């Protein structure tokens, strides 16, 4: 817990691996729980709940989420965790199951309390330096950029990607959407506080929060693994085939924050995707939010987001886009309520 308040904005690291026969033995899913816990302790977080399916394993962490596929790992953590310190241990652990790193993508928003972040998260410059120093030499194509308004004020999106000659971080048919919301509606945020002297488990209270807040209605088809923290806060991972979605909430008044992330196919019904975004925003009614969409270059799946947000009383404040090696195009849009 930072002295100024809890930092809700997550740091997100996505790593891609390759090998002679990466599907054999489930690849990274062969890593035992002790190995995963040891890496998480380096980052300064722990597993609080877990579930898996035929495609990947999902972990709800004390600070956000971890997803382990046979040849891919996504880890995102909030607070003052040192996420990038997981890079080397993850690469070394992957080598024990015959896999080598072929691609990396790191993203985050603008911290609410940047002054309390420990190295290497003290600045984006420091983060990029740490990544450059710790990535293997075969990742020759690298790029770092900050998307957002040119002025110092305003929400920004920080992106670093790196890949080798063979790696494609963004599949031809997929997209990733990361939504960050602040200044949540106070009445709605109160639903993410536990009752006084509530002695139920975090799992049972989490299921209740999933239902009463409307989060379950966001994607009824997903297998949900949820957890409620004490005295407040909530995390959820949703599994639907090989795709995941995740929600994290810090509901305290002075620094309220919620995030929603999902992956999907650009060939899905775009109107259905936009309805999903509407459902997410209605759960929290934030005063400010940003939407970062990563798609294959040349795909305009992100279009329609601004119009959808306008129907919810949100006004587009800024838009920026950039292309990254092996990772497609990132479109970053920042919105605020019309009352601001």
Q: Is 78 a catalytic residue?
A: yes
Annotate 216-271 with DSSP letters as a single string.
GGG-TTSEEEEEE-SSB-EEEEEEETTEEEEEEEE--GGG-EEEEEEEEETTS-HH
Q: Is 121 a catalytic residue?
A: no
The rounded distance, in Å, linking the Cα atoms of 6 and 251 is: 10
Q: Is 64 a catalytic residue?
A: yes
> What are the start-end ranges of the E strands in the chain?
11-18, 47-52, 57-61, 64-68, 72-77, 100-108, 141-147, 157-163, 174-182, 223-228, 234-240, 243-250, 257-265, 288-295, 314-324, 328-337
Longest dimension (CA), the chain: 56
Residue 276 neighbours by CB distance under 10 Å: 19
Say if residues 256 and 264 touch (Cβ distance below 8 Å). Answer: no
Annotate 125-168 with DSSP letters as a single string.
HHHHHHHHHHS-TT--EEEEEEES-SSSSS--EEEEEEE-SS--
Say if residues 179 and 286 touch (Cβ distance below 8 Å). Answer: no
Q: Is 7 a catalytic residue?
A: yes
Catalytic hit among 45, 58, 62, 78: 78
Catalytic hit among 10, 63, 178, 261: 10
Catalytic hit among 45, 86, 248, 336: 248
- Residue found under tokens 């995390």: 235
The rounded distance, in Å, linking the Cα atoms of 41 and 247 is: 22
Catalytic hit among 49, 62, 64, 86: 64
DSSP state of 80: T
Question: Residue 181: how many CA atoms within 13 Å on its side-chain side?
Answer: 27
Catalytic hit among 235, 245, 318, 336: 235
Q: Which residues have a catalytic role annotated?
A: 7, 10, 64, 78, 235, 248
């Amino acid at each position: 817990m930072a002295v100024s308040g809890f930092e809700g904005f997550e740091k997100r690291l996505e790593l891609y691996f390759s090998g002679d026969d990466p599907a054999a033995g489930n690849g990274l899913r062969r890593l035992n729980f002790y190995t995963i816990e040891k890496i998480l302790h380096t980052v300064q977080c722990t597993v609080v709940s877990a579930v898996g399916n035929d495609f990947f394993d999902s972990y709800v962490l004390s600070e956000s989420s971890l997803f382990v596929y046979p040849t891919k790992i996504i880890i995102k953590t909030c607070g003052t965790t040192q996420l990038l310190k997981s890079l080397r241990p993850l690469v070394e652990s992957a080598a024990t199951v015959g896999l080598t790193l072929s691609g990396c993508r790191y993203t985050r928003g603008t911290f609410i309390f940047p002054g309390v972040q420990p190295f290497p998260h003290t600045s984006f410059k420091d983060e990029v330096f740490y990544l450059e120093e710790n990535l293997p030499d075969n990742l020759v194509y690298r790029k770092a950029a900050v998307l957002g308004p040119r002025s110092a004020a305003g929400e920004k999106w920080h992106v670093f990607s790196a890949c080798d000659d063979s790696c494609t971080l963004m599949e031809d048919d997929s997209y990733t959407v990361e939504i960050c919301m602040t200044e949540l509606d106070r009445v709605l945020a109160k639903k993410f506080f536990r009752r006084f002297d509530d002695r139920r488990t975090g799992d049972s209270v989490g299921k209740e929060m999933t239902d009463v807040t409307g989060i379950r209605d966001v994607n009824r088809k997903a297998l949900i693994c949820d957890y409620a923290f004490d005295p407040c806060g909530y995390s959820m991972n949703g599994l639907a085939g090989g795709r995941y979605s995740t929600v994290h909430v810090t509901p305290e008044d002075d620094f309220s924050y919620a995030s929603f992330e999902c992956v999907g196919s650009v060939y899905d019904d775009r109107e259905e995707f936009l309805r999903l975004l509407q459902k997410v925003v209605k759960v929290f009614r934030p005063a400010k939010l940003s939407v970062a969409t990563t798609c294959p270059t040349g795909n305009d799946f992100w279009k329609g987001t601004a119009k959808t947000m306008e129907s919810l009383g949100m006004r587009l404040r800024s838009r920026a886009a950039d292309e990254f090696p092996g990772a497609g195009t990132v479109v970053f849009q920042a919105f605020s309520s019309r009352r601001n």
